[in-house]
Structure 1
Amino acid sequence: MKMPQRTLPMLKCEHNFARHNFARHNFASHIVAKYAVAIGVAMLAVASVATPHTTSAADALDLLGGFDRDRIAKTYPPSDSAAVGELAKLVFRLQKVDPKVLASRVRKDPTESNAAELVAAELGDAVSINGVVRSIQVIDVPGDLVEFLEFKRMRSLQIESPKQTVQVVTANVADNIAVGDQARGTGVIVQANGQVAAAAGRLSWVPSTTPSAGWMLLAKAGVDISSIVEVASRDRKPLLAADADAFYATLAAAASISGQRDLPASRNVTAVKMLTDAKTMAGHWIRFEAETVLVTRIAITDPDRQTELGMDRYFQIDAVVDLGNAVIQIEGSSDENDARFENRYPVSIVATELPAFLNEAIWKQTGVDAIVAKISRNVAIEGFFFRLWSYQTDYMNQFGGEDQFGPLVVAANITDRTPTSADPIGVSMIGWIAAVVVLAGMLATWLWHRSTTAGDREVAKKRKQASVDVDF
């Protein structure tokens, strides 16, 4: 399969454009210098409505760009094409609103309120949604709006909480959501009399039954499984702002279960399995062995992300995994110009904390405050498969500039697998030399930060990493 060259001069966020910052950093001469990408994920609120209005504690009208209560009243029920069109436009507007800002306007939570209290709410008030899906209906969007709105249909879900049932219309919820699953989010009330109804920009999804132990662990930790499903749809693409929520939520989930003894058995996977079945593995709980090459401490500058993780940094470990007898081949710009990978293939591992043995190795080599350290250790990784991500390397430039791609895994547990016996024949040295030969480019490291910062100075010190070949 050919992978088109991707250039990243600008990154389009949902509400803003964020510029990629690139820098180079030179390391040992036998390893090629590597790019490090800092991705800004500023989320800006939608412009306020120009017309002034009287606000209530739950009023979200100023976030809805052109919708007042009279216009909202025309969106529900969606009994004709005009009402459906207006409802679709409202859902589109809500997709552009920062979820945290909308949640701050919530008046009543259906899980805590009774029907009488909700009836007293006004059209356009923000409402929290959290309950079990009891029915699902599809609403087709008028054809003349599809190109503008970029969605063809909406779904109307009846969501039941212990004290109230709310009808919620959204265009952004997992395709495989089913009756009996849980849905949650924040919307605005579009019908307050009788059956309470709301419109929502998106709903998170917690399935009642999960196809993998990983999804079960993530859902238990509060991760929106629909965001994990979306991650799989970006297979072999560069890391984007759209990955941020799922990435940090998975990091936080992995940190919360690290060291627990009652975890479900993880699934042993090979490098070839991760490369060939990546689209079906997002969020899966896996285990594999690797050899570390480079460890980088990455600063988190966004205060919200710092709060989410409870820290201001995480670590990326660039490593190589054994290919066995497999040969990986990535097609170049011509049939005679394919990149081949034998013996080993690069994998990127991220974690909120490093185990003691890696910290000790870093301290001995570069000191306590090291940002980047070349560390060669055999490790066993237990964690969540995120997705295949692509990046540019000097090695792949030899084959027409196609992107390198490799697995990205969020680790919960990292175990030392380095032999404790002496190594009289220098097996570990041979392994290190082989890794250096196989690694030809560098995996990009990525970081989200506030748009008000000039970028992450620590990450700007750039890193390098390895790149290996495979047959695709």
Structure 2
Amino acid sequence: MKRWSVSGERWPESGGRRAAAGQRLAVTACLWAAFVWCPTAGHSADDAAEAAPKITATGESQPGADAGKTADAKPAESKPAAAGPVEAAEPGTVLPWLRPAADAVQPPTPPLSSAREMLELFSIDASHIRQLADGRPLVIDEDETLFKILYRMPFFGADKIAAWAKADVVWPELAQEPAAHRLEVFPVKGRVTQVQSIELPPETATRLEYGKYFRVRLQLADSPHSALVCCRAVPAAWERADKLDERGSCLGLFLKTGGEEDGAAELVFAAERVAWLPEQPNPSLGVTPDLVYLASLGMDVGLLDTVRQTNRRPITGDDRECFYQLLAAAGRAVPADLFARAQTPPDVTELLTESETQHGRLVTLLGTARRVQRIAVDEPDIRQRFGIDHYYQIDVFVSLGNTEIRFEQKGDNKEAPVFRHNYPVTCCALELPPGLPARDDIAVPIRFAGAYFKLWAYKSDYVATFDERQRQVSPLFIATTPRVVKFDDSTSNLIGWIGGIGCVLLVLMVGFYTWFPRRSDRRFEQQLRPKLELGTAASLNELGIEARDKPDFSGLADLDRGNQSSRADSAD
């Protein structure tokens, strides 16, 4: 009979069995020695289970002691690692290949000092940059370098690009010595006059994951030179417009000089996008006075195009830049000015049903703040560019009046959430007024004024009772510092005094008219009542009143005779 080992090898047939048994004995002895001498081998399975990490609801590996904690509705905040030194493990307690090496601590990577270094990390080196020739328009030989730079621009980081920007720019110097300033970042500001869309070749679009880019022509401010900015995003209204004369700006990476126009060389830049800063309303482009006001505060109103695509969804990464730019603009605004410009909508329904037309609209609402949360901002680029390290999320209930809002799916007969009397909205602000604490379970009447950001979706216990997959949708506003509403107590006190005095007078009048008639009745009774003085007699028999057996009607006959005589006298 043939026998096979676990590894698939054939066991010896005859005398080799003893050798195999000896080998097994030797292996057993080695395992027993390892069990005795290795301290970790004596640990029980329960100890191993306690030491094993467990996955919490946030998806991060946490110690087993925290496994009993549940995830709240709000996102969990990431805690930084301890800054103190880490104690080294005792020798023999861990396997050698798991022990930290003595030189495991790596020196910090120095920050990149220029865009050129960043491009070199992305394998865009001098050989690619040499393809950019000065003194001529962009040609097909330069496309590959341009396409790669535009592909990598979003990975630079807005904070790094802002840090690399050179404020003291002299445009004639760039035109005369382009090689000395190539791949430097400059703030580009001017009037946008033309936008051209350029399609990428299909194979290049598949490889670089974007299908087109834009060439935006700007007339630089206070300079005869013009700029050609190559970017991957422009406001949607610019693409549809035949003629443009709008204020725009960007942080552009200088590439080369192009052809000359009116004796001045055109300067070619690459940027992630061109900001739109309108100066006057333009209905054909969808520019309202509210958008002009936000642009005056430094807000790129073209970012609202991205937010329009995320209505009825949670806050996404695409909303990030627009959210913080709008929050910074609201922080720069004078609160009284913003309150004066904002308008009160007739009801909340248009903010829910017509959200695509509400973005950037200045709105003021009166409601009751039910919860205020302080949200810490940990992103270094937001702290550096906008100086924002926190903001407040205020959950407000606004009145619906007689309106009823019902969320129903088309063709679905299931019971749906219904809102009556009030509806929840959310506003975010950098500062809180006195009297509005940052805590839960409050009921503070406030009025806020801000810009409509989007119709966002979030988890709600009330809506989840109908369908766990359904989300609550509410308008989200970016507001200036709210105002706590205090009602005028002097008027209410005056009304209270008047009401009290009126009640007292009414009681006195009712009492007077109730007491006076009774007093008159008593006097009249006393006048009509016959006064009979019994004196000292013990009974009526002793008064000397004549008693008769039958009634005496003689008085009536006298009265009749008297009446007849009076009638005769009147007849005479």
Answer whether TM exceeds 0.5 for this pair.
yes
What residue number does 1:173 align with?
234
Give the SS at the match of 1:36: coil
Deviations 1:246-303 (A, max 9, x none): 2222222222224344875322222112111222222211112212111222223345
State how 1:92-131 maps to structure 2 within 5 Å. Answer: 92-106=151-165, 114-117=173-176, 119-131=178-190
- Equivalents in 1 of 2:444, 2:375: separation in Å? 20
Residue 318 of structure 1: how far off its partner (Å) = 0.7
Match status 1:160 vs 2:198: no
Residue 112 of structure 1: how far off its partner (Å) = 5.8
User: Is contact 2:159–2:381 with CA below 8 Å preserved after alignment?
Assistant: no
What residue number does 1:433 align with?
none
What residue number does 1:202 align with?
273
Residue 389 of structure 1: how far off its partner (Å) = 0.9
- Equivalents in 1 of 2:354, 2:217: separation in Å? 35
Match status 1:68 vs 2:68: no
Indicate which of 192, 216, 233 corresponds to 1:133.
192
Match status 1:272 vs 2:349: yes
CA RMSD, 1 decimal:
3.3
Indicate which of 462, 465, 479 corresponds to 1:395.
462
Go from structure 1 to structure 2 and tell me whether the alpha carbon gap of 1:264 and 1:75 turns closer, same or farther (over 3 Å shift): farther
What residue number does 2:372 align with?
295
Give the SS at the match of 1:267: coil
What residue number does 1:357 align with?
435
User: Is contact 1:61–1:68 with CA below 8 Å preserved after alignment?
Assistant: no
Match status 1:231 vs 2:307: yes
Go from structure 1 to structure 2 and tell me whether the alpha carbon gap of 1:115 and 1:292 turns closer, same or farther (over 3 Å shift): same
Larger helix proportion, structure 1 or 2?
2
User: Is contact 2:158–2:381 with CA below 8 Å preserved after alignment?
Assistant: no
Q: Which moved more, 1:244-253 or 1:112-121?
A: 112-121
One-letter code aligned to 1:335: N
Residue 408 of structure 1: how far off its partner (Å) = 0.8
User: Is contact 2:279–2:292 with CA below 8 Å preserved after alignment?
Assistant: no
Deviations 1:438-464 (A, max 9, x none): xxxxxxxxxxxxxxxxxxxxxxxxxxx
User: Is contact 1:60–1:105 with CA below 8 Å preserved after alignment?
Assistant: no
Give the SS at the match of 2:352: helix
Go from structure 1 to structure 2 and tell me whether the alpha carbon gap of 1:254 and 1:102 turns closer, same or farther (over 3 Å shift): closer
Deviations 1:396-448 (A, max 9, x none): 2223221111111122252334533569xxxxxxxxxxxxxxxxxxxxxxxxx
One-letter code aligned to 2:330: A
Residue 156 of structure 1: how far off its partner (Å) = 0.8
Match status 1:35 vs 2:112: no
- Equivalents in 2 of 1:111, 1:372: separation in Å? 52
What residue number does 2:48 align with?
none
Is the radius of gyration larger for structure 1 or structure 2?
2
TM-score (norm 2): 0.58
Gaps of 5+ in 2: 1-56, 60-68, 79-111, 260-265, 282-286, 494-572
User: Is contact 2:338–2:449 with CA below 8 Å preserved after alignment?
Assistant: no
- Equivalents in 1 of 2:187, 2:376: separation in Å? 33
Residue 353 of structure 1: how far off its partner (Å) = 1.4
TM-score (norm 1): 0.69
One-letter code aligned to 1:274: L
Match status 1:219 vs 2:295: yes
What residue number does 1:188 align with?
253
What residue number does 1:316 align with?
393
User: Is contact 1:127–1:187 with CA below 8 Å preserved after alignment?
Assistant: yes
One-letter code aligned to 1:169: C
Residue 352 of structure 1: how far off its partner (Å) = 1.3
State how 1:249-268 maps to structure 2 within 5 Å. Answer: 249-261=325-337, 265-268=341-344
What residue number does 1:414 align with?
482
Could you tell me the percent identity over the aligned residues? 24
- Aligned length, in residue pairs: 370
Deviations 1:338-363 (A, max 9, x none): 222222211011111122232xxx3x
- Equivalents in 2 of 1:110, 1:253: separation in Å? 26
- Equivalents in 1 of 2:191, 2:160: separation in Å? 24
What residue number does 2:413 align with?
335
User: Is contact 1:332–1:399 with CA below 8 Å preserved after alignment?
Assistant: no
What residue number does 2:362 align with?
285
Go from structure 1 to structure 2 and tell me whether the alpha carbon gap of 1:94 and 1:372 turns closer, same or farther (over 3 Å shift): same
User: Is contact 1:248–1:305 with CA below 8 Å preserved after alignment?
Assistant: yes
- Equivalents in 1 of 2:317, 2:350: separation in Å? 27
- Equivalents in 1 of 2:313, 2:358: separation in Å? 16
Give the SS at the match of 2:146: helix
Indicate which of 144, 149, 153 corresponds to 1:90.
149
User: Is contact 1:75–1:84 with CA below 8 Å preserved after alignment?
Assistant: no
Go from structure 1 to structure 2 and tell me whether the alpha carbon gap of 1:263 and 1:289 turns closer, same or farther (over 3 Å shift): closer
One-letter code aligned to 1:191: K
Residue 174 of structure 1: how far off its partner (Å) = 1.3
- Equivalents in 2 of 1:62, 1:197: separation in Å? 17
Deviations 1:361-388 (A, max 9, x none): x3xxxxxxxx523221322221111111
Give the SS at the match of 2:198: strand
